[in-house]
Amino acid sequence: MRPQRTINRWATGLAAAAVALAVSGAAAQAEPQRGGTLNSTLWPEPPGIVIGINLNAPTLLPSTKIFEGLLTYDFQLNPQPMLAESWEVSEDGLTYTFNLRDDVTWHDGEPFTSQDVVYTLTEFIPEVHARSRPTFARAKVEAPDDHTVVLTLEEPYGPLIRSFDAIGAPIVPEHVYAGSDIRENPVNRSPIGTGPFKFSEWKSGEYIHLVRNDDYYLDGRPYLDEIYYRFIPDSASRALALETGQVQLATQNDIELVDLGRLEAMPHLEVTTKGWEWGAPISWLEMNHRREPFGDVRFRKAVMYALDHAFIRDNIFFGYAKVPTGPIHSSSPFYTDDVVTYEHDPDKARALLDEMGLTPDGDGVRAEIGLLGLPYGELWDRLSQYIKQALGEVGVEVTLEASDVAGWGSRIANWDVDMSTTYLTTLSDPALGVARSYITDNQKKGVLFTNTAGYSNPEVDRLFAEAASEPNHEKRLEMYHEVQKIIADEVALAWLAELQWPTVHDAKLKNVVRNGLGPNDNFAEAYFEQ
């Protein structure tokens, strides 16, 4: 298993979500209506819109309307049909058989067949899709006929069944890509997929325009005529555009959290935090264990005690966050709250620092350290400022270090930093999204998204390794609970917040968030209430 991780806004994960979610309201709704133009914000402007070649968050939103996977997933991350009508997993978990729809055509009119799937999984993904490359390297892919695809594994691999969505395995047309240099293929600027919307135009600096695929295989769908993804670099402008009704959809980090309360109160807008179950992003303060005093667990505990997590949740994330307890997201089935917790207690923090011998000097300063904040805008600046202030109260003087994204990434990857803030998607299986930040093997200098903090505990390494290859779910649970206890007690990282990304949309826009993919669904069902 290769570590995969993102510094960006979103990444996919493959474990079942344990959070109980209200059933989507789709069934209860009135008859959907045809027509209408959806304007959505999109920021920043993506580098490209072919999933796999690009995996940036802004690539995914428009691209998932054009490309489809074999499957899609509901809020509980149960597989649902998309290009595959039905599927079957053998008893031994080594053979996956997919029965494809026979009424699907590509946007250029060519028929969709199993050859496209084979090409995608054996050529396209291994070549360009850095994130799914290791997953599909485990499988042999064959097409016994035009509408059947069989994957064969050498040993069971649980997460595989949740790897067939449009993001993890977008099916691309073989007849367009075969034999070409995939990355340089000119079709990448006007991609051809099977989805409910076709690419129409990309106006640099302004918008990406998608139009209805009139030959879509589901009757009467999609309902919308067209979608504009508009690049609006300024968050205040994005909020204003939602208010004035110029755009009807914004998601993830598009809207400053401070604006949400106001927008939520507006009758024509709705806000939901559903639809981002896979990402399960956690923000933390990463301390470089290789440097003093961070190697001392007492210092790390003191930092946790010094921080008021409730304040962070309420005043920095404006309530769009939860207080984390450890490395695993509370929405994960492997989560336990039976761990050491750290209530805000500056006195305890001071006591721990005293115990370490870090006593205040004449100015009340016990230690001076640097903090490299995530350069993602004003919210993260404020988080850094709060940390500076909170640690300052217990005598730890923090110097904020500014940087742009490039410098930030380089310094963290090269361990050239005291403390840094970040947030990462922990994905749905700890084996994929959690272990990478804590296991000793994954300390790889120069590579971001690894165990850059430098935490190392042989017991933790052992537990993560065994849990990954343990077929028994109960046993896995036990091991992950044990891991959480150890890591939380040793404060491998100072977790700050579980992020709750909001999706804001016009109240008339229905079926926006109807499954676990949220705004990255294909929007075949989305419609405007007249």
Partner 1 sequence: MRQLGFLVGWLVKALVVVLAITILNFLLIRLAPGDPAIVMAGEAGAADERFLAQIRSDFGLDRPLLVQLGIYLKNVLTLDLGQSYRNQRAVVDMLFERLPATLLLTGSAYLFALVFGPLLGAIAAMKARTVYDSALMVVALFFYATPIFWVGLLLILVFSVQLGWLPPFGMQSLIPVEGTLARTLDILRHLILPAVTLGLFYVAVYVRLTRASMLETATLDYVKTARAKGLPEWRVATAHILRTALLPIITFAGLQAGHLVGGAIVVETVFAWPGIGRLAFDALFQRDYNLLLGVFLLSALMVVFFNMVTDILLRVADPRIGSRA
Partner 2 sequence: MSFLKRFAENRGALLGLVILAAIVFVALAAPVLSPTDPWATQGRPLLPPGSDFVLGTDMLGRDVLAGIIHGARISLWIGVLSTVVAVVIGVSIGALAGFFGGWVDDVLVRVVEFFQTIPSFIFAILLVAILTPGLTSIVVAIAVVTWPPIARLARSEFMSLRSREFVEAAVLSGVSRGRIMLAEVLPNAVSPLIVMGSLMIATAILTESALSFLGLGDPNRISWGYMIGAARTVFRQAWWLSVFPGLAIVLTVLAINLVGEGLNDALNPHLKGRIGLER
What residues line the site for partner 2 (CB under 8 A)? Answer: 234-236, 239-240, 256, 258-259, 262, 315-316, 373, 375, 377-378, 381-382, 384-386, 388-389, 392, 399-404, 407
Binder of partner 1 out of 15, 32, 107, 131 (CB under 8 A):
131
Candidate ranges 46-54, 89-97, 293-301, 328-336; the one touching partner 1 (CB under 8 A) = 46-54
Least distance between partner 1 and beta carbon 44 (Å): 7
Buried-exposed string 287-319: b where 16+ CB fall within 10 A, e elsewhere = bbbeeebbebebbbbbbbbbbbbeebbeebbee
Given partner 1, partner 2, none, residue 192, with its beta carbon under 5 to 8 Å by kind, binds none
Q: Are strands 367-372 and 269-272 parallel, antiparallel or unpaired?
A: unpaired
The residue among 50 and 307 lying less far from partner 1, judged by its C-beta, is 50
Give yes or no for residue 449 binding partner 1 (CB under 8 A): yes
Query: Do the bridges between strand 95-100 and strand 84-89 make them parallel or antiparallel, or are there none, so unpaired?
Result: antiparallel
Which of 162, 208, 201 has the alpha carbon at shortest distance from 70? 162
Of 54 and 95, nearer to partner 1 (C-beta) is 54
- Which region, judged by CB under 8 A, interacts with partner 1, from 1-9, 67-75, 112-120, 264-272? 1-9
- Whether 74 contacts 282, CB under 8 Å: no
Q: Would you say 194 or 252 has its CB closer to partner 2?
A: 252
Considering just the CA atoms, what is the radius of gyration of the chain in Å? 24
Given 378, 405, 469, 471, the residue binding partner 1 (CB under 8 A): 405
Q: Are strands 367-372 and 419-425 parallel, antiparallel or unpaired?
A: parallel
Stretch that binds partner 1, among 138-146, 298-306, 403-411, 486-494 (CB under 8 A): 403-411
Among 169, 171, 62, which residue's Cα sits nearest to residue 106? Answer: 171
320 binds partner 1 (CB under 8 A): no
Entry field: residues in the chain: 530
Indicate the DSSP class of residue 123. Answer: I
Binding-site member from 8, 24, 76, 440 for partner 1 (CB under 8 A): 8
**Which of 230, 241, 98 is closest to 163 using CA atoms?**
98
Instruction: Check binding of 212 to partner 1 (CB under 8 A).
Output: no
First to last CA, the chain: 49
- Residue 194 binds which entry of partner 1, partner 2, none, with Cβ cut-offs from 5 to 8 Å by kind? none
- Contact between 339 and 330 under an 8 Å Cβ cutoff? The reply is no
Q: Which does 508 bind (CB under 5 to 8 A by kind): partner 1, partner 2, none?
A: none
Q: Which stretch binds partner 1 (CB under 8 A): 2-10, 259-267, 455-463, 513-521?
A: 2-10
Query: What contacts 405, CB < 8 A, 6 or more positions away?
Result: 375, 376
**Among residues 266, 323, 447, 468, which is the contact residue for partner 1, using CB under 8 A?**
447
Whole-number Å distance between alpha carbons of 88 and 90: 6
Q: By CB under 8 A, is residue 97 in contact with partner 1? A: no
CB of 27 to partner 1, least distance (A): 32
**What does the block give as tokens for 417?**
């930093």
- In whole angstroms, the minimum distance from the beta carbon of 400 to partner 2 comes to 4
Nearest approach, Cβ of residue 404 and partner 1 (Å): 4
Q: Find the binder of partner 1 among 90, 180, 237, 359 (CB under 8 A).
A: 237
Q: Give the CA distances from residue 319 to residues 1, 325, 498, in Å, rounded to whole numbers and listed in that order.
A: 35, 17, 11
State how far the Cα of 143 lies from the Cα of 461, in Å rounded to an integer: 39
Sequence-distant (≥ 6) Cβ neighbours of residue 309 within 8 angstroms: 323, 324, 342, 344, 496, 497
Which among 411, 430, 427 has a CA at the least distance from the CA of 419?
411
- What letter would DSSP give residue 223? -
262 binds, among partner 2, partner 1, none (CB under 5 to 8 A by kind): partner 2
The window from 15-23, 110-118, 226-234, 294-302 that contacts partner 1 (CB under 8 A) reads 226-234
Q: With CB cut-offs between 5 and 8 Å by kind, which of partner 1, partner 2, none does residue 401 bind?
A: partner 2
Residue from 157, 211, 407, 415 touching partner 1 (CB under 8 A): that is 407
Structure tokens at 361: 């000097």
- Choose the one of partner 2, partner 1, none that binds residue 444, judging by a C-beta under 5 to 8 angstroms depending on kind: partner 1
Kindly tell me which residue out of 35, 144, 156, 233 binds partner 1, with binding defined by CB under 8 A.
233
Which of these, 62, 168, 146, 42, lies nearest to 102 by C-alpha position?
Answer: 146
Q: Is 232 in the site for partner 1 (CB under 8 A)?
A: yes
Residue 267 binds which of partner 2, partner 1, none (CB < 5-8 A, kind-dependent):
none
Q: Where are the alpha helices (DSSP H) in 50-105?
A: 57-66
Contact positions toward partner 1, by CB under 8 A?
2-8, 10-11, 37, 39, 44, 47-48, 53-56, 130-131, 183, 188-189, 204-206, 228, 230-234, 237, 240-241, 246-247, 375, 403-411, 413, 444, 446-449
